[in-house]
Amino acid sequence: MDRKARAAIILERLRPRYPGAASALTWKTPFELLVATVLAAQCTDARVNLVTPEFFRRWPDPKTLAEADVAEVEDVVHSTGFFRQKAKNLVAAAKLMASRHGGTVPRTLAELTALPGLARKTANIVAGNAYGNHEGIAVDTHVKRLSFRLDLTDSDNPVVIEKDLMPLFPRRAWGEINHLLVLFGRDVCQARKPRCEDCPLADVCPRKGLSVPTP
């Protein structure tokens, strides 16, 4: 089976398993999604969701965050890990949004990745989920791992993986496939002990990189 055919089956089978698949982060505005996604790096979504209410109470938009004391931001985001760098990047990004984008979150990948602390993954998540602007596929830890295991790529480089995935899925599904693979990676195809006996993709999965061969 070629990769295009396998990708179509993956999308077809995971959609009904995870209807309305979406990020576990709690957000209402593009700014809130941007902040939450930055804080989620090396941190659980559940922890981020505990931190963001106070963050958004103090700094509800780029303009207020641009004027924030970085030390105060550090205190609020401390429990998310790497708090100094996250606080520094968020305030710097807010300053650019205030000065260059009229206090709003930009819509394009090029503009988003020009903000401090926003790599392609974060930019894809914000552009796709907040604006429906799908210029690429967000490759996080789960997507990276499952893309290799399902033989949708031969690479472990997120940039290369994204380029490999984009031709395999329809553009309208580029945001959706990230959510589906993340949920599937947490639910069934876990890193250390995948539940292959309960896997809806068992018959098409090459189990690439796993020491135990396909039954």
Q: Which residues are catalytic?
A: 121, 140
| DSSP code, position 79 | G
SS3 59: coil
Integer Cα distance of 39 and 169 in angstroms: 28
Integer Cα distance of 105 and 30 in angstroms: 6
110 CB neighbour count, 10 Å cutoff: 10
Degrees, nearest 5: CA angle 204-207-209 = 150
